[in-house]
A = this chain, B = another copy of it.
Amino acid sequence: MSTVSRDSVREVLHAFLAGKGLRKTSQRDAIIEAAFGTNEHYTAEELLTMSRSIDTSVSRATVYRTLPILVESGLLRELDFGGDTKIYDPNFLEHPTHNHLVCVDCKKIVEFEDPNMELLENCITRRLGFTPANKRVTIEAHCDEFQSLGTCSRAANTAK
């Protein structure tokens, strides 16, 4: 992520906090830094670890209390691929309409964006008498490479 957009994340978030009468604390800063300092997906527990590497004093409770704020701000997105833990995706700032393909074989999550999908979703939603707010497409699929080779270039990565 570019420094510019990371800075803008901080700004937006500080404005967001201020606007809600919430305070700027060192723990929240560390969590924000960790949350948007990567393009990878992560769990609450992983975010705790990442935050602690910036500020040792961050506690699990604070991470769990901060996550909903970040999600509410619109900069962080909560994903649910059916596992027992929620996954967080910091890439919606750069790619606001992206979706996810989860590989059944190599377990890797591939992000994709498609304007036609976007258009079609809006059409369908309006046709049903609604105004679109939030759209999620999750595709589970088999990796062709994996199918023919028995492994694939992504196979090393463990599921997130």
Contact = CB atoms under 8 A, between A and B. Distances in A.
Chain A interface SS verdict (over half): strand
B133 A135 contact: no
Contacts of A129: 143-145
A64 interface: no
Interface of A: 78, 80, 82, 101, 103-104, 110, 112, 114, 116-117, 120-121, 124-125, 128-145, 147
Q: Work out how many copies of this chain go into the complex.
A: 2
A124 B139 contact: yes
Contact of A80 (B80, B104, B147): B80
Nearest to A135: B139
Given A112-B124, A120-B114, A139-B124, A104 B133 contact: yes
A133 B143 CA distance: 10
Contact of A110 (B103, B104, B128, B144): B128
Given A114-B124, A116-B120, A129-B145, A137 B140 contact: no
Contacts of A130: 101, 103, 110, 139, 141-144
A35 B124 CA distance: 29
Nearest to A146: B130
Given A80-B82, A82-B78, A132 B141 contact: yes
Contacts of A103: 130
Contacts of A114: 120, 124
Given A112-B124, A124-B117, A140 B144 contact: no
A30 B40 CA distance: 44
